[in-house]
Each structure stands twice: as C-alpha cells, then as structure tokens.
C-alpha cells in the first residue's frame, strides 16, 4: 500500500533560459552543481530554432536541434532566484564541422599531451560528459551501422568558468558500440575513488545499465560491472542514477522504458559489482494525474520520463520525474526509509502545453528548499505547441 502523497509548500516556478528563437533542452544530460552560499551552476543544450518544421524541434544528432546545440552553463549567486546575464561558458559545440570536433575530442587519445591535475572531489570541481556525434565514417570503422555517439568527459577546477582542453575518453566495453552518461552526481567512495553509472549501447536487446570507476579523478574511466538489462529484448533500461547511503549501500534508480515504462531501483552492497533484483518505486492505482486531465485531452504519452533521485539532509529520498501523458508536467515521489517504501506521487506542476519536457536536475538549497531545473514548453504562439525553455521550480517537502 502506498503512503499518501507528500505535501508540497512554497512552490514557485521561474524561467532560467527562454527565447522564442531558441530550443533549450535536456539539462539532465549536462548537469547541476551546488557550491554553497547561493552559488549554483546549471547546464543545458542551447540551439537556434524557428519552430516551423519538424527538424526545428527534433532531437536527432543528424538534423534535429541536437545537431546545432552548444552546451552552456548558467550561474546563480542567489540560490537560483536570478541567473547570470553574462555570456555563459560554452563547454561543447555540436554544430562544429566534423573535423574540428574530432580534433578536439581525439586529443584524449594522444598520451604525450599533458593533463591537468583536478580533484573531482574538491569544492570547486565540475565535470561534463559529452555525447558527441563523430560521424558515420568513424561508426563504420567501429562496426556500428548508425551515426556513432562517443562519450568524452571535460573537467573544470574553477566552478565551470573554464574547462580543460584535453578530454577523457569513456570507451564502451569490448564488443559494444556506444556508452553514454547523463549528469547525475558522481558517487565518491570512502577511499576517494569515483563511480559513475552509464548506459551501454542504448537500444534493445543489448542496452544495459553499467558502472564505471575512476581512481585518478577522471583522468581515466574503466568499465566495472553491469547493473541490469532487459532479458526480454523488448524494454530499454535507461536514465540511470546512483545514490550512496550512509551505511555504504549503493542504490541505482532508472526508468524501464518501452516494455514497462516504470521507475525502478536496485541496490549493491559490494561497491557496485553485484546488484539486487529491480523493483518498482511507483504503483498503479495511486496517481493524482488522471483526475486532472481535461476531458478533451488526447490519451497518448508515457507516465514517467528521466527520474532524478536525491537524498535530502534529513534522510528522505525524493525522486523527480517528467510526465509525458496528459496532463503534461513534473511530479515526484518520496521515501522516508531509504527506499524501502514510497509515497504516492505528488504533482509539482501540470501546465505544460505538450509532452516535449522533463530531464530534470535538482539540488537542496541552504535553507532546505529543493530547487529543480528542467526543460519545459508552453503555448506562446510558436509552432509545435510552443517554445522549449529551461524552467526552474522551488518547493519544500
């Protein structure tokens, strides 16, 4: 039996980055960093868009908005209330010609090139993991039939003001084609080593959630273990995140897409080498969403997208997610016992004009409030149901 939904208070929504000529999306793929005393850093994909033809709002790395996107970070010095108007640092530019992209990324394969010593556990560190399209020629060389996305990590020692010019390659394990990672915080182990959760390949039946580790502050990343894959070959596990509990237990949260479309979790008590069976943290029959749906709304879409778990300072775990079935919006669920049981869902907002939304990042502010940033859409006269922009929400639990 699900516990009642948590009560949200002090709920307020803002816009971090909005222009009717721009598609702003997918902050979960870029990151959030909380440096304390009100300083926050939030990234997203930023691309010109006319909102006139499908390619203007598509996500393809071939001809969609992702193929034109720069990766930028915005900064706040007042706990997320306002965001810097200064020109943000561009970490990566997917619109560069292919040869220029390769020239930057493949510095990672030159052992003689010196690397910066950056402590990724330090108070001023940041790291961004690309998913860069390096072209069909490279894909053919590596036995992949589609446009290959490669993963590289760029580090910063000064809170994202500057970024290293030599990245780290994050290579897929032997026999696999692609590895990609979203921007959930790295896990720091007791010995200072780091863990990152990734998606290897990315489509059924080979897609898997996998663990990588680094013992040199991100100068190298090595494959450690597989958390799960869908044995049916129908579903696709993805949007995976790691939490480390005070007792040393690792938790992995993910969306089991296509086949089931449910948020699930599992755990490891040996540092990530072996994992328990998956179990859902959401349940049918306890949803507040259907009662809020307009009678004339369509019925297509998915209940959950891109879960983001975080452990609050009082020990509660909150998992934020997007909803892409009417009513469209952002929701959450909460556990008060380290994930043993979960509340019913709560609606953070349900006022989006369409389903192209979500990919949240989140952090707890100094005063205990939660701040989350995500991409959203509203009917503002632009085509395809309105402009995609980066929104933010504050709330208390």
Q: Is the Cβ–Cβ distance between 298 and 274 less than 8 Å?
A: no
Predicted pLDDT at 175: 84
Residues of the chain with pLDDT under 70: 1, 85-87, 135-147, 204, 259
Rounded CA-CA distance 28/15 in Å is 16
Predicted pLDDT at 144: 53
Task: Please provide the DSSP assignment of 281-319 as one string.
Answer: SS-TT--SSGGGS-TTS---S-S-EEEEEEE-TTS-EEE
Predicted pLDDT at 12: 98
Among candidates 54, 150, 81, 135, which has minimal Cα distance to 23? 54
Task: Please provide the DSSP assignment of 303-369 as one string.
Answer: S-EEEEEEE-TTS-EEEEEEE-SSSPEEEEEEESSTTSS-BPPEEEE---SSS--EEEEEEE-TTS-
Rounded CA-CA distance 27/10 in Å is 23
Q: Which residues contact 395 (CB under 8 A, 6 or more apart)?
A: 8, 9, 10, 11, 12, 348, 369, 370
Rounded CA-CA distance 98/334 in Å is 44
Question: Residue 139 corresponds to which tokens in the numbers above?
Answer: 């894909």
Q: Is the Cβ–Cβ distance between 378 and 390 less than 8 Å?
A: no
Predicted pLDDT at 85: 64
Q: Bridge partners of 374?
A: 391
Rounded CA-CA distance 317/338 in Å is 7
Predicted pLDDT at 353: 97
Predicted pLDDT at 216: 97
3-state DSSP assignment of residue 370: strand
- Is the peptide bond preceding residue 149 cis, with omega within 30 degrees of 0? no
Question: Residue 345 corresponds to which tokens in the numbers above?
Answer: 């869902």
Q: Is the Cβ–Cβ distance between 45 and 53 less than 8 Å?
A: no
Domains (ranges, CATH) in the chain? 9-396 (2.120.10.10)
Q: Bridge partners of 17?
A: 390
Average of per-residue pLDDT values in the chain: 93
Q: Going edge to edge, which strands form the sheet with 236-244?
A: 236-244, 250-257, 262-268, 279-280
Q: Bridge partners of 187?
A: 195
Predicted pLDDT at 176: 86
Rounded CA-CA distance 76/391 in Å is 14
pLDDT > 70: percent of the chain: 95
Dihedral sign for Cα 395, 309, 187, 159, please: negative
Type and span of the H or E element at 139: helix 136-141
Q: Is the Cβ–Cβ distance between 333 and 300 less than 8 Å?
A: no
């Amino acid at each position: 039996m699900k516990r009642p939904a948590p009560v949200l208070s002090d709920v307020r929504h803002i816009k971090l980055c909005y222009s009717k000529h721009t598609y702003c999306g997918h902050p979960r793929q870029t990151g959030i960093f909380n440096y304390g005393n009100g300083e926050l850093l939030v990234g997203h994909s930023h691309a010109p868009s006319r909102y006139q033809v499908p390619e203007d709002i598509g996500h393809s790395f071939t001809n969609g908005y992702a193929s034109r996107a720069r990766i930028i970070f915005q900064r706040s010095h007042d706990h997320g209330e306002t965001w810097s108007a200064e020109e943000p640092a561009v970490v990566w530019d997917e619109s560069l010609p292919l040869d220029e992209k390769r020239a930057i990324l493949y510095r990672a394969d030159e052992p003689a090139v010196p690397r910066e010593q950056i402590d990724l556990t330090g108070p001023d560190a940041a790291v961004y993991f690309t998913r860069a399209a390096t072209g069909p020629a490279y894909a053919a060389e590596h036995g992949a039939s589609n446009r290959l996305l490669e993963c590289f990590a760029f580090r910063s020692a000064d809170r994202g003001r500057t970024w290293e010019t030599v990245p780290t390659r994050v290579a897929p394990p032997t026999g696999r084609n692609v590895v990609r990672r979203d921007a959930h915080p790295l896990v720091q182990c007791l010995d200072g080593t780091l863990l990152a959760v990734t998606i290897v390949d990315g489509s059924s039946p080979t897609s898997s959630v996998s663990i990588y580790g680094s013992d040199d502050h991100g100068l190298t990343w090595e494959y450690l273990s597989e958390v799960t894959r869908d044995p049916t070959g129908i579903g696709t596990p993805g949007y995976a995140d790691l939490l480390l509990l005070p007792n040393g237990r690792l938790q992995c949260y993910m969306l089991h897409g296509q086949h089931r479309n449910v948020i699930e979790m599992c755990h490891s008590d040996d540092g990530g080498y072996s994992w328990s069976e998956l179990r859902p943290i959401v349940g049918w029959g306890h949803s507040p969403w259907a009662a809020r749906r307009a009678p004339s709304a369509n019925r297509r879409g998915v209940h959950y997208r891109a879960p983001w778990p975080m452990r609050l300072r009082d020990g509660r775990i909150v998992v934020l997610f997007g909803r892409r079935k009417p009513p469209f919006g952002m929701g959450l669920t909460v556990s008060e016992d380290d994930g043993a049981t979960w509340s019913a869902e709560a609606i953070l907002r349900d006022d989006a004009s369409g389903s192209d939304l979500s990919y949240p990042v989140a952090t707890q502010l100094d005063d205990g409030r939660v701040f989350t940033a995500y991409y959203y859409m509203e009917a503002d006269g632009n085509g395809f149901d309105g402009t995609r922009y980066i929104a933010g929400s504050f709330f208390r639990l």
